[in-house]
Amino acid sequence: MHAVDVGTGTPLFLLHGFGVDHRLLLPLDPVIGAAGGWRRIYLDLPGTTGTPIGEVASTRDVVDAVEREIAERIGDEPFAVLGNSFGAMVARQVAHDLRSRVLGLATLAGVFVAEHARRVVPPQTVLRTDPRALATAGAAAEDYAEMAVVQSVESARAFLEHVQPGLDAADEEGLARIATRYALEREPEDADPELFTQPCLMISARQDQVVGYEDAWARREHYPRGTFVVLDAAGHNVHLDQSVLTAALIEEWLQRVRAAAG
């Protein structure tokens, strides 16, 4: 599995969403790097340019591939994990499967209910339009506009740098195969109902029409050391829409993980 592996210290695996690649999460690297003592491992999940899909045909297969990659890269070493969107569903399963080694779990606009029809989501909302942003996005304007809650030239540039390359390079046929078995057999919190007591951070967005925020909050009692946050003026790319607040929350989560690990 292809990865961008930077820094030294405690491993932190970062898992991107469906149909994009590791570049979506690279804007988080400055704050994690500045925290010190973290080895950041940005995985390209199966179905990206970096990691061919191979025999992977379900979300459970993706989880298994990630767990094998973790074992190959760090053996039995403790680690933390952060997942975005689909990657958050994978991260939650990994955290429960390997909970004795997981120091902390974070999700960004995470999938907590696999079936789209069962998700509680708000209507698509655009709080501010900006023709200059759409012009900046160019050929990617439609994809950008679908996700942008607050349009701006800056957010359009971030989309072009961190989101669109993964969209363009995705293995659509392979991902369609996974999509037919997108749901796990049971949600991790139901399959393993013992409370997850390591420091957690669940960041959702008020205007996220893809996964919403209420389904994440419905799991709050399962994570007694969890900070649950809903950020306004943000959509599914919450860490791009609210970069400063997201960075501050991740920095604080890393501090809690470090303190709990001693």
Q: Please tell me the predicted confidence (pLDDT) of residue 139.
A: 95
Give the count of alpha carbons within 13 A of 150, CB side only.
14
Give the mean model confidence (pLDDT) for residues 32-47: 97
- Whether the pLDDT of residue 50 is over 90: the answer is no
Q: What is the pLDDT of residues 88-120, one digit of tens each?
A: 999 999 999 999 999 999 999 999 999 999 999
Tell me the residue type at 37: G
Strands in 153-212 per DSSP E: 200-205
Percentage with pLDDT > 90 across the chain: 99
Q: What is the pLDDT of residues 146-169, one digit of tens each?
A: 999 999 999 999 999 999 999 999
CA atoms of 141 and 244, how far apart (whole Å): 24
- Whether the pLDDT of residue 208 is over 90: the answer is yes
Q: Which long-range contacts (CB under 8 A, 24 or more apart) does 61-70 make?
A: 61/178, 62/90, 62/178, 63/90, 63/93, 63/94, 63/97, 63/184, 65/1, 66/1, 66/13, 66/15, 66/90, 66/94, 67/94, 67/97, 67/98, 69/1, 69/3, 69/43, 70/13, 70/94, 70/98
- Whether the pLDDT of residue 262 is over 90: the answer is no
Confidence of residue 66 (pLDDT cuts 50, 70, 90): very high
Q: Please tell me the predicted confidence (pLDDT) of residue 49.
A: 83
Interacting residues of 218 by C-beta distance below 8 A, sequence separation 6+:
112
Give the count of alpha carbons within 13 A of 243, CB side only.
14
Give the mean model confidence (pLDDT) for residues 40-45: 98
The mean of the pLDDT values for the chain is: 97
Look at the domain 3-122+172-261 and name its fold: Rossmann fold (3.40.50)
Q: Please tell me the predicted confidence (pLDDT) of residue 135.
A: 98
Give the mean model confidence (pLDDT) for residues 204-227: 98
Give the mean model confidence (pLDDT) for residues 214-230: 98
